[in-house]
Structure 1
Amino acid sequence: MPLSCDFTVYNWNGVPQPVLDREDRVLLVLGGFPPNATDWKEAVTDDAAREMENAATKIYTEPKWRCKAEATAAKTPCRGPHAAESVGASMGSGQPFPMMLQHSVVNTTIFAGLFGLKCFERIAGWTNTGFAPLLHEYYRQTLDDLFTWDAGQDREKHLRCNFLRRFSVFAAATFNFGPHTVTFPHIDFGNLAWGWCAITALGWFNPDLGGHLILWDLKLIIHFPPGSTILLPSAILRHLNVKIQPGESRYSFTQFTPAGLFHWVYNRFRTDRDINTAPNTSPEEHERHWADRMQRWQEGVKMYHVWDKAPNAVRA
């Protein structure tokens, strides 16, 4: 898909700032990294990239993970030809109830080790600070309700958080192991329509020459330096990132909550099929249920923070 000349290039340097829509709502946040964290590159950016590289060599068999990326490329995946693994709670694809994404015991241990590292805890904690307050509260309350419900279920395997709850309100995460994480234009249709996911760029590459984030629908090209985080509504905005230079490495760490989990909690811990097939659900209740769902988008957009006094804001 060639770019037209009406795209705007934004030379972002990682300083936190909002991106506003025409009604001054914060549509997405260029979260960057903490301005006063002088050790961020060494203790967070570089450490996280090294730990992802080390983990990939254990997860993927010899000759290491580059063969995984090449094999994936032959299948033309929707997001891009790179090795990636998602970890956390999931709901969808015919699941009768929320459950954890499945991995081998060895890989589960590796992922738990990554989540327990200080560098990833700091990324998750910093991401939390960039959330629109009402949207953050909605994510937090949904996760609280979900885990309260799960704790009351009589079964062997229960849901688990990737991070301690004080660090993150997301239910899942994806490690894009690369080693050259370059994505095709896509939307994350499994995420909440008005919700945000958090993308953190990692690795060793020149952000002036590659790795840019392209928000296709906004016609915006953003420099995306290593160690910085961007929160965006990935279910409605087509996005991709461009190639990096030969000899460079780029990874990314993405945090999100599947829309199916919100739907499950919203339905009072039932699927739509459960509601539709319940013998005691009246036609009037069915009608109210679907009418109520039609209003969810409008209610969701109200969670976007209105910020009319942001001198450094980017306009979408």
Structure 2
Amino acid sequence: MSGLWLPVMRKTHSGNGYSPFTLGRPTFPKIIHALQEPAFDIGPLIARAVSAESEEQDDHEGDDEADHDPLDDARDEPPAPLLGLDQGHPFPPPKQLDPLPPVTANPKPAAILKPAASPKPRPGPQRSSMKAEKVAKAAEKAQKVRTASHNRRRAKHARDLTTHGHLPSPATVSAIVRPAAPLRTELNASALPTAFGAYSGKLEDKVEKRGSKVRRSVADLIGLGFQLVKWDGITPRPLLDKNGRIIAVLAGRPNHAKYLESANFAFRTIRDAGAAENFPAAMRHHRRGLFAAMNVGLFYGKGQRFPCWLNNKGYTTLADGLLGDCHIQRLACFADAAFALWAPRLYRYYRDNDAGLRRHMSFRRPFVGSIFACAAFNFGPNVWTFKHRDVLNLAFGWCAVNALGEFDATTGGHLVLEDLKLVVEFPHGTLILLPSATVAHSNVPVQAGEERVSFTQFTPGGIFRFVDNGGQTVDELAERNPSEYDRIMARKAARWEEGLSLLSTLDELLPEE
């Protein structure tokens, strides 16, 4: 049979023979010799095996040939083994194959399976990521340091504010006071009406009260000889008497959005609080005007043995809510800072009185950041005051007045200073400091449809008298210490001029260059 490879015996150089069929099988040499005979023919063996397989397959085919799978039989009975030339030594049976899939009309190509990629080793932290992590940790540490430092500064500031109040630096004084354009008047402050001892203003007489409730416009006041002061509500302007003393200040407001936002919130809070209450007539009709008003804080008047917190009765919750409002607190603190800036000696006098009162009793002020002992809320919706003096305030002391609302400050809401013959534009969110016990003042009403409220701070003059008397009433002082009583009474005659001397001049405020 041509083309058939047959194993042959080979020899090495030493003469030894070898063949693959001689490895441990003694019968293989016989097969080799038989296959090497020239008369050997493998064809009949193959033909016989093919015929036997065909006959076996024909025995299993029937009428249901189309429904029968011939591979089922192959799975049950393996075919007879092929016999070799040497009967008794059959070839091992062929390995059975799985059936082929059926052929379709349009076979889809089998998906090419890509060998699974070996998992890459997890990379270690890259240099850039490690650097970014270090930078982030350093930034976090720096932020913690800044936060701790900020908290320490805030705590120190709170302690200093409680002990010393607002103390503007020379740079702040120079930056605010130097560019301020003063408004000089012909007022003689010494001639202002005051009670003996200057602890309070002088009550108005009938002549002064006559016509005080008349509603006047800006044009009416100009016709009566008043000077119109146009003011943007931001730039400070000190008002000087004829001796150059700063008798009052158009203090304005900080020129940034946060403060104006607080003024807006404070206005809505006071307006809405007033609108939600049903105030009695006694709180809506009084000597200062026809609007609901409420005083809150520490007060001392005739008949009291010592200063005490005002009893707001059914409006205590309302009062506490207003005092606790953060936006109103911001306005109160700015008033305190402006007071310390424009009248540092008078401000120190207030703080000394506060410390003296604490030696006799424990108390609280309406606002932690403000030296004033009492506050007044005028609810509106259209607050305009009659001509009046707040005579229970300290005669030479200052009152802080905040105007709040939605109105055109050029057409209404002006502050009228009767003794200075001025009518001043008073925009929303701004502050004016004035001696309300001795300088008569009023307001121009705002226009129809507009709203205006106000918020003021002051300290009753009686508290100063209580401290000067050693924490007791005048009668108690006279009974317990007659010599001290005589000294106090002798000093009262000069107290008014002493009080005016606490006011500053521009030359005193500006630091030397």
* TM-score (ref. length: structure 2): 0.53
Per-residue CA deviations over 1:121-141 (Å, capped at 9, x if unaligned) read 211111112211011111112
User: What does residue 267 of structure 2 align with?
Assistant: 49
Q: Does 1:137 align with 2:352?
A: no
Between Structure 1 and Structure 2, the one with more helix by share is: 2
Q: Does 1:99 align with 2:99?
A: no
Contact kept? 2:283, 2:293, Cα under 8 Å: no
Per-residue CA deviations over 1:104-163 (Å, capped at 9, x if unaligned) read 2x6223222222222112111111122110111111121122133213xxxxxxx32211
For the pair shown, the structure with the greater C-alpha radius of gyration is 2
Q: Does 1:190 align with 2:392?
A: yes
User: What does residue 305 of structure 1 align with?
Assistant: 504
Q: Does 1:114 align with 2:322?
A: yes
Once the two structures are TM-superposed, the CA of residue 22 in structure 1 deviates from its matched residue by 1.6
Between Structure 1 and Structure 2, the one with more strand by share is: 1
Moved more, 109-118 or 250-259: 109-118
Once the two structures are TM-superposed, the CA of residue 34 in structure 1 deviates from its matched residue by 0.7
Q: Does 1:25 align with 2:237?
A: no
Once the two structures are TM-superposed, the CA of residue 71 in structure 1 deviates from its matched residue by 7.8
Contact kept? 1:24, 1:308, Cα under 8 Å: no
**In 2: Cα distance, 1:226 partner to 1:234 partner:** 20
User: What does residue 90 of structure 1 align with?
Assistant: 299
Contact kept? 1:128, 1:169, Cα under 8 Å: yes
Match of 1:258 among 444, 447, 460: 460
User: What does residue 160 of structure 1 align with?
Assistant: 364
User: What does residue 360 of structure 2 align with?
Assistant: 149
Q: Does 1:292 align with 2:292?
A: no
Q: Report % sequence identity.
A: 41
The count of residues paired between Structure 1 and Structure 2 equals 287
Once the two structures are TM-superposed, the CA of residue 248 in structure 1 deviates from its matched residue by 0.8
Once the two structures are TM-superposed, the CA of residue 310 in structure 1 deviates from its matched residue by 9.3
Once the two structures are TM-superposed, the CA of residue 169 in structure 1 deviates from its matched residue by 0.4
Contact kept? 1:69, 1:81, Cα under 8 Å: no
CA RMSD, 1 decimal: 2.1
Aligned letter for 2:338?
G
Per-residue CA deviations over 1:168-194 (Å, capped at 9, x if unaligned) read 000000000011111000001000010
Task: Structure 1: give runs of 5+ residues left out of the alignment.
Answer: 152-158, 312-316
**In 2: Cα distance, 1:198 partner to 1:246 partner:** 27
**In 1: Cα distance, 2:477 partner to 2:376 partner:** 31
Contact kept? 1:69, 1:178, Cα under 8 Å: no
**In 1: Cα distance, 2:508 partner to 2:297 partner:** 37
**In 1: Cα distance, 2:457 partner to 2:298 partner:** 12
In the superposition, relative to structure 1, how do residues 125 and 72 fare at CA in structure 2: closer, same or farther (>3 Å)? closer
In the superposition, relative to structure 1, how do residues 279 and 305 fare at CA in structure 2: closer, same or farther (>3 Å)? closer
Once the two structures are TM-superposed, the CA of residue 299 in structure 1 deviates from its matched residue by 1.3
**In 2: Cα distance, 1:215 partner to 1:103 partner:** 30
**In 2: Cα distance, 1:70 partner to 1:293 partner:** 35
Query: What is the correspondence of 1:68-83 to structure 2 with a 5 Å cutoff?
Result: 68=280, 72-73=284-285, 77-83=286-292
SS in 1 for 2:364: coil
User: What does residue 180 of structure 1 align with?
Assistant: 382
SS in 2 for 1:295: helix
Per-residue CA deviations over 1:49-105 (Å, capped at 9, x if unaligned) read 1111222244x23xxx6xx579834xxx2100000000000111311111111112x
Aligned letter for 2:482?
T
In the superposition, relative to structure 1, how do residues 221 and 268 fare at CA in structure 2: closer, same or farther (>3 Å)? same
**In 2: Cα distance, 1:273 partner to 1:70 partner:** 32
User: What does residue 248 of structure 1 align with?
Assistant: 450
In the superposition, relative to structure 1, how do residues 19 and 219 fare at CA in structure 2: closer, same or farther (>3 Å)? same
Higher RCO, Cα 8 Å, sep 6+: 1
Task: Structure 2: give runs of 5+ residues left out of the alignment.
Answer: 1-210, 212-219
**In 2: Cα distance, 1:179 partner to 1:199 partner:** 17
User: What does residue 40 of structure 1 align with?
Assistant: 259
In the superposition, relative to structure 1, how do residues 87 and 6 fare at CA in structure 2: closer, same or farther (>3 Å)? same
Moved more, 83-92 or 127-136: 127-136
Once the two structures are TM-superposed, the CA of residue 269 in structure 1 deviates from its matched residue by 0.8
Per-residue CA deviations over 1:251-298 (Å, capped at 9, x if unaligned) read 00000000000110111111112223x06525xx54432211111111
Contact kept? 1:69, 1:82, Cα under 8 Å: no
* TM-score (ref. length: structure 1): 0.85
Aligned letter for 1:128?
D
